[in-house]
Structure formats: C-alpha cells, structure tokens
Copies of this chain bind each other. A is one copy, B any other.
Amino acid sequence: MLILITYDVNTTTGEGRKRLAKIAKVCVSYGQRVQNSVFQCDVDQAKYIALKNQLLDIYDSDKDSLRFYNLGNKYQSRIEHYGKDTSYDPEGVLIL
C-alpha cells in the first residue's frame, strides 16, 4: 500500500533542524521524496508500523506535525503531479 507522509517541523532551533534531518532520513529509507516535506512510501502493514514508530520517536508533538495518508494498493490513479518532478516511479520501466 502507498503511504503518503507530510510533515511540518519547527526548525527555529538547532534541535528542530536535527529532527528535520532525521525524519527525512527515515522517510527516504522507506520510500521516495516527491516534494520538500512530502514522501511516498510503498510499504506493507508491518513496515508502516515500524516507519511510523520511528518517526514518532523523533518528532516533537508540541512543535511538529506529522500526517500519514493511506492511499491503498491501487493508488496510481489517485495521484496527479504537475511541474517540477523530483520523483521516479519505482514500478516504472527503467530505461538504461
């Protein structure tokens, strides 16, 4: 299933900037950055729980916001993108 992760991290402090870097690092290890603070992670339920727990360990619930959107398994038709693209399609054809 595809999980979309969006976050707002308060980076007015050094700790905040560290949290931001850690959160991005965890997200990249499970999926793909498609925008500055938006990630798409194609994971099963067990990996989703592990991913979410890692992020909840890092973030500050008073200062940061973490949102998870479950787009299910048939997600391709749910997504439209326009403009500058920073993503690649993991299931797409790799042209060598």
Which of B8, B10, B64, B69 contacts A71 (CB under 8 A)? B69
Copy tally for this chain in the complex stands at: 2
In residues 33-50 of chain A, which contact B (Cβ within 8 Å)? 34-38
Interface size classification for chain A = 35 or more
**Which 3 interchain pairs have the tightest Cβ spacing?**
A68-B80, A8-B35, A70-B78
Query: How far, in whole Å, are A82 and B34 apart by their CA atoms in the complex?
Result: 21
In residues 70-84 of chain A, which contact B (Cβ within 8 Å)? 70-72, 77-84
Q: Are B8 and A84 in contact (CB under 8 A)?
A: yes
Residues of B within 8 A of A66 (CB): 81-83
Residues of B within 8 A of A71 (CB): 69, 71, 78
